[in-house]
Structure 1
Amino acid sequence: MDRDEASRPLLGSDEGELERSSYLDKVKNGKLYLATFAAILGPLSFGFVLGYSSPAIPDLCRIPDPRMRLDPEEASWFGSVVTIGAALGGLLGGAVVDKIGRKLTLMFCAMPYIFGFTIIITAQNHWMLYLGRILTGLASGVTSLVVPLYISEMSHERVRGTMGSCVQLMVVTGIMGAYIAGLFLGWRWLAVVSSVPPALMLVLMCFMPETPHFLLSQGRRAEAQEALRFLRGPDASPEEECARIEGAMEDQGGSLGWSDLKDPGIYKPLAIGIVMMLFQQLTGINAIMFYAESIFEKAHFKNSDVATVIVASIQVVFTAVAALLMDRAGRKLLLTLSGVAMAISTALFGVYFWLASPQHSGHWVAMETPGPISLDPQPDLAWLALASMGLFITGFALGWGPTPWLVMSEIFPTRARGLGSSLCVLTNWSSAFIVTKTFHNLMDALTSAGTFWLFSGMCALNVFFTIFFVPETKGKSLEQIQAHFKGVRHS
């Protein structure tokens, strides 16, 4: 008797998996891909925002008009003020995404992109430039929150990893697009080109559905079924998926309150999401990109503009590889391999700076003036810097670039997705700003070699954290992931 009762949950789970598999076999993904394409124009716009400053700043520093010309300090703020706007955008997105929905939030965030680039195009002084950057940063913060949620809630478990990885793929594609366009266009025309993706997103999103999860959370079941018919094709009946989502929502309870922070289904994913976003910035990605131009110069690549395009191209290629592997290899494996590759590469960077020091005599000594590499190391060391940078960018693109955003969109219950994602985005952008602004101070205190060895230690901690704390979400529905955190078996 007891044995039979104990076997029932397992049998029910197996039957549920078979039914789910049969349902997914009937799904047609064509319109899901179309909706994903419309949404990822947001991250493409985000990439153009991030990439815009690199080709635009040299132009703005050479303008004869003193009202527009940027000095080094003003150029630094022009590049970094985006992170402040993005942090604010994360807070704003979290406040509205659960009120007006994922679709409308995504459509509205196209407006500050367009207005921001329009202000830059028509700028007559520094403050118009800063305002344009803040607005495009604000839109980027909202985008980095809402697009992963929109794609995650639209997709099913067989393709959700690939679809979610397209977010980071389009970000790095936008960065590369800005770099390439910057080879041929001045800063005003580059802003015109950068405003095209958000305008196209605004138009296409008018024809895309709201996510079924949000519609069901608002009691709009008929609309949720219509959305599922659009996303899953005519052969897959939406009633079963609607019922499964509704059941999970009933288990989660009503609106979110402070007492819910005691719920492992809330605090566990929140802790994992925040720590992943923090670790992503502590890998040293900004430091590597900071040194990229100088490293290419030391390796005798005279055209640094072309060098930045090469770096961006490597990111695009390996982020695309990650997207193809995400639903096959799984999140944990890619994160682990990524962390190992970055730990090795940043350790080698530390060795490079140690050996490059003119005072090197068997022990590492401080680099006197942090900033773009001001040393003239022996030519036979150039290969070490190039190899380290290539390994790092490859590793980051395969795992710790795209995966934290994907996992963030998967692990929160529906009622906590807005708040949880908002806190994750705020952590990411705040950390990016702090790491970037304190980088010089860190090199003063630890030397360049010591700083990169510190990054190597952080990457090693990434690996430990991934193995012991990050759940594998490959092949699981959002409801199964939520049940995992609550310690409940979900069919």
Structure 2
Amino acid sequence: MTPEDQEERLPLLGLPGGSVPRGRRVFLAAFAAALGPLSFGFALGYSSPAIPSLRRDVPRAPRLDDDAASWFGAIVTLGAAAGGVLGGWLVDRAGRKLSLLLCAVPFVAGFAVITAAQDLWMLLGGRLLTGLACGVASLVAPVYISEIAYPAIRGLLGSCVQLMVVTGILLAYMAGWTMEWRWLAVLGCVPPSLMLLLMCCMPETPRFLLAQHKHQEAAAALQFLWGSQQDWEEPPTREEHQGFHLAQLRQPGVYKPFVIGVSLMALQQLSGINAVMFYAETIFEEAKFKDSNLASVVVGVIQVLFTAAAALIMDRAGRRLLLVAAEPVEASTGLAWLAVGSMCFFIAGFALGWGPIPWLLMSEIFPLHVKGVATGVCVLTNWLMAFLVTKEFSSLMELLKPYGAFWLASAFCVCGVLFTVLCVPETRGKTLEQIIAHFEGR
């Protein structure tokens, strides 16, 4: 029996007729998993207030020049790229739950190393560790949440991944208003520690348990999460789950979602979002704003509000509509100088569509037997592109001038609209099995 035949015999983990499960512990489990993205957002936002703090004359603290500051901001993305590969391996072998538990370790260790840093190498080492954790969390949390959610709320809960990321960024900005870089790193240890405590009480996803032939445990997990096993049947005995093979890339059910997932991740980063968020405070300082920290907090608040709005309308408006509608808003920032107004406009557009939806679609479109490898490649693509954009952002601004750099980002936004219209299917309201059947032509 092929892996595709095995998946076809998996139970549809969705309730027909629009019925809604009674249980609400699925929301608690999603919150526990989303603390990983909160930690990852804090790690991303940390560099914005920390870099100006590290550039001041502070006793017993490393000093950052321009080159060191660019590495301090960008090296987290290299760690995250490695974390994407590690997460793709872990998610299929250790499971979704254990992978989330394990990623808390490099989060805490990385911030601890930064707290104790006496030189540049300790700072970079700590950032690399937190980046590794970011890569694992950015892959595993969307997969875990998509597999525990029923179709009616999968868009809402899946969008909460990005909502927690931008909340973490805002938390770093706000805390950086009153804390210097060491205490800010201490605060960064709190969200992953809380995730570790809560996830210990949560179940593994039913889909993963079924793939491991643990049918009773899957039923118990479903009962815990949904409060009901209504319309859920035990699947027939299946053969051993097969792994990924390159020959499977010839199958439409594999190569179509693979191309979509990788392309969305690349286009998301080519919009320039991470460069803007990593260096927000520095950008405002160079733009001669009196209180650059306050301006960064305002940008963070706008990102949280619009991401929350996207989460609320995701299951009504659909994924494709938000992806297409958000890009013209982002592209328009090429018409103005980089300042509070244009940055807020850019952030609002990104938060409505291209922030949450690529991560949500990544967790929805891949068959179970290739999910670990495929999501790992998507996350690797995202973070490698993030590194290139973040590391070369300053050079690009010098070469093309600010307006040229943002016109280039606008061109990529247009490419994103065209790709969405031509290639991305709507997944709203469908079970994960129905989405897979769409790509397979069934």
Q: With the length of structure 2 as denominator, give the TM-score of the two structures.
A: 0.92
Q: Distance in 2 between matches of 1:343 and 1:28?
A: 43
Q: Distance in 2 between matches of 1:308 and 1:228?
A: 42
Whether 1:129 and 2:123 are equivalent positions in the alignment is: yes
Alignment of 1:474-489 (within 5 A): 474-488=428-442
| 1:79-122, Cα deviation, whole Å (9 max, x unpaired) | 21101110110011111110010000000000111111111222
Aligned-residue offset at 1:341: 1.4
- The structure 2 residue matched to 1:340, chosen from 313, 328, 351, is 328
Shift of 1:388: 2.7
Q: 2:193, 2:241 → 1: CA distance?
A: 38
Matching residue of 1:452: 406
Q: How far apart, in 2, do the equivalents of 1:31 and 1:297 lie?
A: 45
Map Cα deviations across residues 298-354 of structure 1 (whole Å, 9 max, x no partner).
9874111111000000000000000001001000000011112112232x13xx4xx
CA-CA distance at 1:63 after TM superposition = 4.1
Residues 432 and 229 (structure 1), Cα distance of their counterparts in 2 relative to 1, 3 Å cut: same
State whether residues 228 and 238 of structure 1, in contact with CA within 8 Å, keep that contact through their aligned partners in structure 2.
no
The structure-2 alpha-carbon separation of the partners of 1:239 and 1:386, relative to structure 1 and needing over 3 Å to count, comes to closer
Q: Does 1:399 align with 2:356?
A: no
Checking the alignment, whether the CA contact within 8 Å between 1:281 and 1:431 is kept in structure 2 is yes
Change (3 A) 1:292 1:331: same
Q: Paired residue for 2:230?
A: 237
Secondary structure of the structure 2 residue equivalent to 1:158 = helix
Secondary structure at 2:411 match in 1:
helix
Identify the structure with bigger relative contact order (alpha carbons < 8 Å, sequence gap 6+).
2
What's the CA shift string for 1:202-240, capped at 9, x where partnerless? 011011000111111111111111111111114x43633
CA deviations on 1:243-288 (whole Å, 9 max, x unpaired) are: 4xx79x88x9833211111011111000000000000011122454
Q: Give the direction of change, closer, same or farther, for the CA distance of 1:294–1:142 in structure 2 (3 Å limit).
A: closer
Q: State whether residues 229 and 238 of structure 1, in contact with CA within 8 Å, keep that contact through their aligned partners in structure 2.
A: no
User: Aligned in 2, Cα 1:26/1:402: closer, same or farther, shift over 3 Å?
Assistant: closer
Give 1:35's aligned amino acid. Answer: A
Between 298-307 and 467-476, report the one with greater CA deviation.
298-307
CA RMSD, 1 decimal: 2.4
Is the deviation greater in 313-322 or in 119-128?
A: 119-128
Q: Which runs of 5+ in 1 are unaligned?
A: 1-15, 353-372, 374-384
8 Å CA contact 1:110–1:201 kept in 2: the answer is: yes
Q: Secondary structure at the match of 2:203?
A: coil
Per the alignment, residue 258 of structure 2 pairs with 270
Name the larger-Rg structure.
1
2:149 alignment counterpart: 155
1:58-457 alignment, distance < 5 Å: 58-65=52-59, 68-234=62-228, 236-237=229-230, 239-240=232-233, 242-243=234-235, 254-289=242-277, 292-293=280-281, 301-346=289-334, 348-349=335-336, 352=337, 385-457=339-411
Indicate if the aligned counterparts of 1:67 and 1:126 stay in contact, CA closer than 8 A.
no
How far does residue 73 in structure 1 lie from its aligned partner after superposition? 2.0
- Counterpart of 2:4 in structure 1 is none
Q: TM-score, normalised by structure 1?
A: 0.83
**For residues 405 and 155 of structure 1, what CA distance do their matches in structure 2 show?**
15
Pairing 1:31–2:13 present: no
State the distance in 1 between where 2:146 and 2:266 align.
Answer: 22
Report the Cα offset of residue 475 of structure 1. Answer: 0.2
Change (3 A) 1:253 1:127: closer
Q: Which runs of 5+ in 2 are unaligned?
A: 1-10
Instruction: Give the total of aligned pairs.
Output: 431
For 1:237, give the aligned amino acid: Q
Residues 146-188 of structure 1: CA distance to partner in whole angstroms, max 9, x if unpaired? 0000000111110000000000100110111111111112222
Quote the offset at 1:293 in angstroms.
Answer: 4.6
After superposition, the Cα gap between the structure-2 partners of 1:96 and 1:185, relative to the gap in structure 1 and judged at 3 Å, is same
Indicate yes or no: 2:424 matched with 1:470: yes
Structure 2 counterpart of 1:48: 42
For the Cα contact (< 8 Å) 2:156–2:312, is it kept in 1? Answer: yes
SS in 2 for 1:36: helix
The alignment partner of 2:92 has SS state of: coil
Q: Cα deviation per residue 1:395-415 (whole Å; 9 max; x = unaligned)?
A: 100000110000000000011
In 2, Cα distance between equivalents of 1:291 and 1:175: 12
Identity, in percent, stands at 56
Q: Deviations over 1:121-142 (max 9, x none)?
A: 2222222221111111100000
